[in-house]
Amino acid sequence: MKEKILLCVSGGIAAYKAIELASLLSKAGFVVKTVLTDNGQRFVSRINFAAITHQSVHNSLFEDSDPIPHIDLADWADLIVVAPATANILAKAAMGIADDLLSATLLAHKKPVLFVPAMNVNMYEHPATQANLSVLRERGNHILEPVTGLLACGYEGKGKYPPNPEIVYAVRCYLEYPEDLRGIKVLVTAGATAEPIDPMRLITNKSSGKMGLAIARAFALRGAQVTLVHGLMEEKPPYYLHEAIFAPTVQLMQNAVIKAAKGSQIIVKCAAVSDFKPLKAASQKIKKGGSLNLDLVPTPDILAQLGKQKTKKQKLIGFAAETEKLVANAWEKLLRKNLDLICVNHLDTAGSDQTKLSLISAGQAKTARPLELSGDKFEVALRLVERIIQL
State how far the alpha carbon of 118 is from the alpha carbons of 33, 152, 153, 199, in Å.
21, 10, 12, 43
At 80-123, the pLDDT tens digits run: 999 999 999 999 999 999 999 999 999 999 999 999 999 999 99
- List the single range of 41-50, 242-251, 341-350, 369-378 with lowest mean pLDDT: 341-350
Which residues lie below 8 Å from residue 388, measured CB to CB, with a gap of 6+? 266, 268, 315, 317, 341
Cis geometry, peptide bond prior to residue 69 (ω within 30 degrees of 0):
no
Given 153, 173, 270, 343, which residue is catalytic? Answer: 153
At 298-342, the pLDDT tens digits run: 999 999 999 999 999 999 999 998 888 888 888 999 999 999 999
The pLDDT value recorded for residue 292 is 84
The pLDDT value recorded for residue 291 is 84
Q: What is the mean pLDDT of residues 128-154?
A: 96
Element (H, E) at 34: strand 31-36
Q: Are 56 and 33 in contact (CB under 8 A)?
A: yes
At 335-367, the pLDDT tens digits run: 999 999 999 987 777 778 899 999 999 988 777
Its pTM stands at 0.95
Q: What is the mean pLDDT of residues 191-217?
A: 93
Confidence of residue 288 (pLDDT cuts 50, 70, 90): confident
* Whether 153 is catalytic: yes
Map out the domains of the chain with their CATH numbers: 4-174 (3.40.50.1950), 185-390 (3.40.50.10300)
Which residues lie below 8 Å from residue 63, measured CB to CB, with a gap of 6+? none
